[in-house]
Amino acid sequence: MASPASPASPASPASPADRAAYQRTRLRCGVAGIGMILVALWAGLGLGVPAQLDRVLVGWEGRAGFAVGAVLAAGAVLLQLGPDTIARHADLREGVAVAGEQKRFLKRYWSGVLGFAVQVTLAAGLAGVALMPREAWADPWPGYAAVAAALGLLSLARIFRDPTLSIESEPYEVAPAWIAALESRLERAGEARPPIRWFDHGEHSLAGGWEGFGGRRRLTLSRSVGELPPEVAAGLVLREIGHARKWHRGISCLVSAAWLALGVALGYGADRWLLGPLGTAGRVFLLAAVMSTWSWVGLFVLPALGRRQVLAADRFMAEKLGDPEETSTVFGCLAGGNLPDEDLGAVKRYVFHPIPPLAVRRAAALKSFA
């Protein structure tokens, strides 16, 4: 539920021309950021960097992975600074971001950068420990199998993760009368209000998701949701209930785990039959290149599941609301802050937009009343 806020909020550029220009800027920044990292990694493979790293870090053994990870993280951060800066200026210029929240944004941005660097370094280091050449292993497959298992478990662990942990935010309180109106509308839809934790992340966006598991599960919602009419917010809450009922998050994590395991298998194949035999540092660099590319390929493939889940949650919401006018109002709220679908060509929309266009979603949801 990461759609921009209601039409009343300055969540998007005002004119269609400005929206199209803004969209092109953000699209180019995203492509440039990913593209530069992939080009750098594959250029490194072409220049024989894995073998060179093995020679430079000879004798480092298990520590080699941490060294390679630190270098990779630093390189990725430097490559991303340019596109990230351009994208931020575009957000501020067009009113997508709140101008007065620059200090909070910088704190959030650099804490995210530091977290990314630490994660990459640790992941590469642990992978290096698993991938160290060992006399007992004539074939490196046990090490790659261990990496695949670890990545799969981390992917599955996202089922329990609070999706707002990465958002620097503050607690937020919603008026009791608003909560009562929300509960009333949910009750008419046959649903009880789930436990909700409100937060203010200083942006014009409808953000949130489920945290916890079992009896401790609750819904986290941003301040922007609490500023909507409670009847509209009820529709958004019903969508999230639909996601939870159909176990969409768990299914997505399972698919992601399988995708990552397949990527590690490709890395093993490259090590075994194309570039090998490699040492610890070379294997870590090779795996970083293969997995980064495989993740990029996943941008074309994996969203197909998410699109189906979005449409299913929309249908659940429409059926629970039982009113086509209310359903249209919810989509109208989402459309107020979104860039117009017509600004995207069919190919760009499929590749770079992870969810179906709002017009498609609205039409599919309204079929429930046909």
Structure confidence by residue, pLDDT tens digits, 330-363? 998 876 545 555 556 666 666 666 778 888 899 9
Beta bridge partners of 208: 221
Q: Could you give the C-alpha distances from 123 to 66, 77, 129, 279, 325, in angstroms and in order?
A: 8, 16, 10, 17, 50
pLDDT reported for residue 211: 79
Neighbours of 330 (CB within 10 A): 24
pLDDT reported for residue 294: 95
- The closest alpha carbon to 296, from 33, 24, 2, 78, belongs to 33
Residue 274 pLDDT class (50, 70, 90 cuts): confident
Pairing of strands 208-211, 3-4: unpaired
Gap between the Cα atoms of 282 and 274, Å rounded: 13
What radius of gyration do the chain's Cα atoms show? 23
Residue carrying the six token digits 């109002």: 329
pTM across the whole model = 0.77
Q: Where are the domains positioned within the chain? A: 1-370
The sign of the torsion formed by the CA atoms of 200, 205, 206, 207 equals negative
Region of poorest pLDDT, from 9-23, 95-109, 226-240: 9-23
pLDDT reported for residue 370: 76
Residue 365 has pLDDT above 90, yes or no: yes
Question: Looking at residues 60-71, what average pLDDT do you find?
Answer: 89
Predicted confidence (pLDDT) per residue in 216-252, tens digit? 788 888 888 888 899 999 999 999 999 999 999 889 9
Gap between the Cα atoms of 236 and 145, Å rounded: 41
Query: What single letter denotes the amino acid at residue 245?
Result: R
Cα 362–365–368 angle (5° rounding)?
A: 145
Question: Looking at residues 94-106, what average pLDDT do you find?
Answer: 65
Neighbours of 186 (CB within 10 A): 21
Gap between the Cα atoms of 362 and 3, Å rounded: 14
